[in-house]
Amino acid sequence: MNITELSSQYFVSPQIEVSDLVSLKAQGFDVIVNNRPDGEAEDQPSSADIQAAAEQAGLRYVYNPVDLKTLSQKEVLAQDELIKADEKVFAFCRTGTRSSVLWVLANQKDEMSFVSLVAEVMKKGFDLGRCLPAMERLKKA
């Protein structure tokens, strides 16, 4: 697994497999967040399958799917609750980018912090350029 730490309690990754859940529990994660809508690709495991494996491994599972075309404050607030909880959170989507977008939007305070957080995430290997139009709609002034 290619896991990227965005903060001490929030980590992101590309798509995981059902077989990864035991390893994630062993790494100390408390919550698994699926930001990828079901059915994006034929070979992607379903949310229900990942949820079953997560719960069997003793992990809390949250399904918060993101489509950048319809990204709203609802998805950001759901992720923000998890980010602010005192739990180690592992969030994933197809590449990890949408999970990173939610982290930026949840943590921004103003224009300056938004720009700084975007730059920080991009340094970690996520190209947020294509996401910026969707993010701009939810950016704090």
In this prediction the pTM is: 0.95
Supply angle C-alpha 85, 90, 92, rounded to 5.
130
HSE at residue 126, side-chain half, CA atoms within 13 A, is 31
Query: pLDDT category, 1, cuts 50, 70, 90?
Result: confident
> Residue 28 above 90 pLDDT?
yes
> Residue 141 above 90 pLDDT?
no
Query: pLDDT category, 55, cuts 50, 70, 90?
Result: very high
pLDDT attached to residue 125: 94
Classified by CATH at the fold level, domain 4-136 comes out as Protein-Tyrosine Phosphatase; Chain A (3.90.190)
Domain range summary for the chain, segments of one domain joined by +: 4-136
